[in-house]
Structure 1
Amino acid sequence: MQKKDDIVKIYDDMFNLIGAEKWSVVHARGLLHQVVHLWMYGDEPDGRWLYFIQRSKDLDVFPGLYDLPVSGHIDPEETFSHAVVTLTRERLGLKLLPEYLKHVGNIRQIVDSGNYHDNAFCQIYVKRLRLPIPEFEIQGAEMLFKTRYDEFCQWVEYPKGKLPIYTPTGEFIKDSVEADWWWPRKNEFIKVVKPYIDKQHETI
């Protein structure tokens, strides 16, 4: 989990490195910084699935909402891929190798909510989970779940109905609604992640 005294690099609007600052200051002042996002999907006998988490209900910002399985800041001495590896091990208990991660693009994300100002340049990664689906050891989140890829693609464009979500082993949890989700990820999925995943051939 990100700590408020963690140090991250900050940039000007031309993406020139201008220094480093505490996490709490970065979000209080809306300083431009870089983060990594990891999307996970799996091709299973009954179709393609996307994996998400429910954020901890103890978080100060957007507690309990549904979000990416892994996202976070980059330590000053880390590369993007090693940040993904470290965060995935800490939060999901999965050991990934940087060479098997796919960097699919980036997107600027700006979120202003009360005293929280997120001004981030997001480095986006995708990981395909192969069968058998691994056993996860979740830390700092309420749960990990999955949803059918085709249903998510249709729903995310017009999220007025319900989207069923399931445990990693396929048991139905609930019909989620728009208010359950943290929506800064919507454009990222539509513009960057979906075009990449759609090009991947399904092989079990």
Structure 2
Amino acid sequence: MKEKEILSIFNDRYDRIGSADREEIHSKGFWHETFHCWIAFRDQGRDMVYFQLRSMGKRDFPGLLDITAAGHLLDHEEVSDGIREVYEELGLALTFEELNPLGALKEELIDGPLIDREWTNVFLLEQHVPFEAFHLQEEEVVGIFAAGLDDVESLIKGGKDSIPVDGFRIRKGKKEYISSKVAWEAFVPHESSYMLQVIDRIRDRLRE
């Protein structure tokens, strides 16, 4: 039997007020703490950001594009412990010191019985990681795609119906490289306010 994940519970001011298992937190809508790592870079004057493609075996939002790497922080963990997610999901061996902090943002994502209220600790790896360097944990992630930061912003704001993405997905154990166009429905439905804040902060950092 899989051991329950115990997470800290917070109020809406980010004060710790207790702990509970992950299932209870998501069913009752308690605020909890997560780690989000975005990987982005500038390529010929254009800001680019990587999205992971979630496995079809995931219970929540299977087969959708999502934050480059992310995960929950357990009640005994520090924010810096979240760096493990980057290695576990993407196979990239990084140190916490390589990441640039983008701040703590609140996000609510409600989908049927899932009431996901997160204090997200957001970080940026400013690096053009070649697709060949990713070694994915296929139970969690089956692809990586790059999109233009401005395109993603326009998609969220309704200025575009679809945007181009380039990357790969794993099929039969091998990377299959793909260029495609995707609509907003191809992404995990994160709050627009969260996404737009992240985009602004990534853009500011890339252009420093």
Mark yes or no: TM-score above 0.5.
yes
The residue that corresponds to 1:60 in the other structure is: 59
Q: Tell me the CA shift for residue 134 of structure 1.
A: 6.0
Counterparts in 2 of 1:20 and 1:174: CA distance versus 1, 3 Å: same
Counterparts in 2 of 1:131 and 1:116: CA distance versus 1, 3 Å: closer
The residue that corresponds to 2:142 in the other structure is: 142
Is structure 2 residue 130 aligned with structure 1 residue 121? no
Question: What is the alpha-carbon distance in structure 2 between the residues aligned to residue 104 and residue 133 of structure 1?
Answer: 24
Which one of 187, 191, 201 corresponds to residue 207 of structure 2? 201
The residue that corresponds to 1:164 in the other structure is: 164
CA contact (8 A) 1:80 1:123 kept: yes
Is structure 2 residue 77 aligned with structure 1 residue 78? yes
Q: TM-score, normalised by structure 1?
A: 0.85
Is structure 2 residue 185 aligned with structure 1 residue 187? no
Question: What is the alpha-carbon distance in structure 1 between the residues aligned to residue 202 and residue 55 of structure 2?
Answer: 29
Counterparts in 2 of 1:7 and 1:113: CA distance versus 1, 3 Å: same
Question: What is the alpha-carbon distance in structure 1 between the residues aligned to residue 71 and residue 49 of structure 2?
Answer: 19
Question: What is the alpha-carbon distance in structure 2 between the residues aligned to residue 13 and residue 136 of structure 1?
Answer: 36
CA contact (8 A) 2:90 2:135 kept: yes
Q: Identify which range, 7-16 or 18-27, moves more after superposition.
A: 7-16
CA contact (8 A) 2:40 2:202 kept: no
Q: Tell me the CA shift for residue 196 of structure 1.
A: 4.1
Which one of 89, 97, 100 corresponds to residue 99 of structure 1? 97
Counterparts in 2 of 1:193 and 1:82: CA distance versus 1, 3 Å: farther
1:28 maps to amino acid: S
Q: Identify which range, 131-140 or 67-76, moves more after superposition.
A: 131-140
CA contact (8 A) 1:4 1:24 kept: no
CA contact (8 A) 2:126 2:206 kept: no
Counterparts in 2 of 1:77 and 1:177: CA distance versus 1, 3 Å: same
The RMSD of aligned alpha carbons is: 2.5
Aligned to 1:110, the other structure's residue is in SS state: strand
Which blocks of at least 5 consecutive residues in structure 1 are unaligned? none
CA contact (8 A) 1:164 1:172 kept: no
1:9-28 pair list within 5 angstroms: 9-28=8-27
1:146 maps to amino acid: A
Aligned structure 1 segments of 4 or more residues deviating by more than 6 angstroms: none
Aligned to 2:133, the other structure's residue is in SS state: coil
Which blocks of at least 5 consecutive residues in structure 2 are unaligned? 169-174
Residue-by-residue CA offset, 1:138-159 (whole Å, 9 max, x unaligned): 1111211111233223333216
Q: TM-score, normalised by structure 2?
A: 0.84
Question: What is the alpha-carbon distance in structure 2 between the residues aligned to residue 177 and residue 66 of structure 1?
Answer: 11
